[in-house]
């Protein structure tokens, strides 16, 4: 069985973002990402300087840890990273579903896997201009198609006016996908400083700006949500 590069497994906590906000969950965060977003809040799982901290684990070992953390009570497992779509989660999803666990995956939509169809929720998070990344829309489209019947949602981080306009354009192209927008944390933790100071008032101001802008604009398609875990715990890692 192939190994998955794991940065951290933690929980139970609540899902802090998007469609499943507030839902109890255990996170499996993988190491390695094909993107380098300018404002990434999880660089310890992206930057290869930290690869020595990423542990190769097989599906049995990961599921054992999930069972321990959840005390054997089935819940939703959130697969994130880094880009978790680099890894092979097929065997873990198959194993977990047999025991009643559900699986949600967070990815930017740059890499497709055939096991996307087995997810309970695929969250595609294409990156706006402020990230300094360039979206490959063919690759994104392939992810949407690979989901097949699996529930799929889109989540876009918005930092400024340009991101906002961009998000509206993307929403038009994928109007059948439920959309969640969230303000950015402009004070993400440096990878070697897990609990770095956070500008909470600045984040709340960005949330208010985003709500006002969206409503004044008469754009009623998206749900506008903060990162709830950030409001509760700041930049703390493993929550």
Ligand X SMILES: Nc1nc2[nH]cc(C(=O)O)c2c(=O)[nH]1
Ligand Y SMILES: C[S@@+](CC[C@H](N)C(=O)[O-])C[C@H]1O[C@@H](n2cnc3c(N)ncnc32)[C@H](O)[C@@H]1O
Q: Which residues sit at the interface with ligand Y, rule CB under 6 A?
A: 33, 39-42, 80-81, 83, 106-108, 125, 155, 157, 182, 184-185, 188, 227
Nearest one of 103, 97, 98, 107 to 155, comparing CA atoms: 107
The count of residues interacting with ligand X (CB under 6 A) is 11
Minimal distance, residue 231 CB to ligand X, in Å: 11
Q: In terms of CB distance, is 67 or 153 closer to ligand Y?
A: 153
**Are the C-beta atoms of residues 30 and 87 closer than 8 Å to each other?**
yes
Instruction: Give the span between the Cα atoms of 134 and 143, in whole angstroms.
Output: 16
Joined together, the tokens standing for residue 218 give 């008469």
For 196, phi then psi, to 5°, come to -55, 150
From the list ligand Y, ligand SF4, ligand X, none, partner contacted by residue 36 (C-beta under 5 to 8 A by kind) = ligand SF4
- Compose the 6-35 pattern: x for residues touching ligand X by CB under 6 A, - for all others: -------xxxxx---------x--------
Q: In terms of CB distance, is 106 or 118 closer to ligand Y?
A: 106
Q: In terms of CB distance, is 6 or 46 closer to ligand SF4?
A: 46
Position 70 contacts ligand X (CB under 6 A): no
**Are the C-beta atoms of residues 202 and 159 closer than 8 Å to each other?**
no
Which residues 73-102 are close enough to bind ligand X by CB under 6 A?
80
Residues with Cβ within 8 Å of 112's Cβ and at least 6 positions away in sequence, in order, are 85, 139, 142, 143, 145, 146
Task: Provide the annotated binding site for Mg(2+).
Answer: 42
**Are the C-beta atoms of residues 181 and 223 closer than 8 Å to each other?**
yes
Instruction: Give the span between the Cα atoms of 235 and 210, in whole angstroms.
Output: 21
Position 173 contacts ligand SF4 (CB under 6 A): no
Instruction: Give the span between the Cα atoms of 212 and 231, in whole angstroms.
Output: 19
Stretch that binds ligand SF4, among 30-38, 68-76, 163-171, 219-227 (CB under 6 A): 30-38
From the list ligand Y, ligand X, ligand SF4, none, partner contacted by residue 184 (C-beta under 5 to 8 A by kind) = ligand Y
Q: Which helix (H) or strand (E) holds 63?
A: helix 59-69
Minimal distance, residue 15 CB to ligand X, in Å: 5
Q: Which residues form the interface with ligand SF4 (CB under 6 A)?
A: 33, 35-37, 40, 42, 46, 81-83, 108
Write out the residues near ligand X by the rule CB under 6 A.
13-17, 27, 42, 80, 106, 229, 239
């Amino acid at each position: 069985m192939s190994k998955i590069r794991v940065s951290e497994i933690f929980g139970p906590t609540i899902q802090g973002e998007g469609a499943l906000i507030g839902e109890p969950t255990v996170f499996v965060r993988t190491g390695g990402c094909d993107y380098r977003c300018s404002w990434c809040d999880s660089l310890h799982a992206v930057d290869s300087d930290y690869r020595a901290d990423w542990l190769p684990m097989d599906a049995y070992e990961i599921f054992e840890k999930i069972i321990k953390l959840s005390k054997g009570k089935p819940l939703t497992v959130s697969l994130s990273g880094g880009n978790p779509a680099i890894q092979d989660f097929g065997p873990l999803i198959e194993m977990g579903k047999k025991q009643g666990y559900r699986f949600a995956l967070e990815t930017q939509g740059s890499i497709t896997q055939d096991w996307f169809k087995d997810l309970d929720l695929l969250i595609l998070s294409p990156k706006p201009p402020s990230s300094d990344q360039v979206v490959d829309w063919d690759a994104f489209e392939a992810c949407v198609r690979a989901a097949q019947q699996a529930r799929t949602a889109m989540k876009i981080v918005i930092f400024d006016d340009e991101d906002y306009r961009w998000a509206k354009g993307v929403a038009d192209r994928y109007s059948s996908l439920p959309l969640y927008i969230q303000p950015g944390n402009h004070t993400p933790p440096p990878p070697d400083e897990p609990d770095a100071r956070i500008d909470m008032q600045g984040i709340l101001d960005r949330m208010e700006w985003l709500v006002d802008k969206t409503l004044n604009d008469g754009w009623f398609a998206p749900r506008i949500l903060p990162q709830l875990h950030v409001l509760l715990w700041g930049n703390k890692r493993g929550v």
